[in-house]
Amino acid sequence: MAYQGPDGGMKQLWVQNLEITQSFIKEYKLKSVSRKTLGTEVFQLSPGMMSGGLKEASLKFRWPPFPGGIRIPHLHFKGELYLLTEEQWKSYTTTVMEGFKAKLDKVNTINFNQMLNLSDAIDSL
């Protein structure tokens, strides 16, 4: 069962990768940010978080009342929100994908619906 976050969105990715997420936050010494002030604190985002300037930054947030409104790399962990640079996101997702590969290597067979879902996910890359 997936964890339902405070905004009603499903956060299964974060729950399934708790150890990776926790280690990543510690390794990069990430600080959480307040969800309430995201729209007003975009000027504090580092240049590596987006390619454009402040004008583009204001378009990266649709919050509130839109669940899933943060359009830049970020993590959820224990009720906190952590913004990432593109480089940090690449590092995090590389580690998560290694876990996916290990799981796929152990699979002998999958059912029809699993194949459709997996095919759709791979084709979307």
Q: Does the global pTM surpass 0.95?
A: no
For the chain, domain boundaries: 12-123
Q: In tens digits, what is the pLDDT along the chain, a chain of 125 residues?
A: 344 455 555 456 777 888 999 999 999 999 998 777 665 554 344 545 544 443 444 445 554 555 566 778 888 888 888 889 899 999 999 999 999 999 999 999 999 999 999 999 899 98
Is the separation of the CB atoms in 9 and 67 below 8 Å?
yes
- Cβ count near 7 (within 10 Å): 16
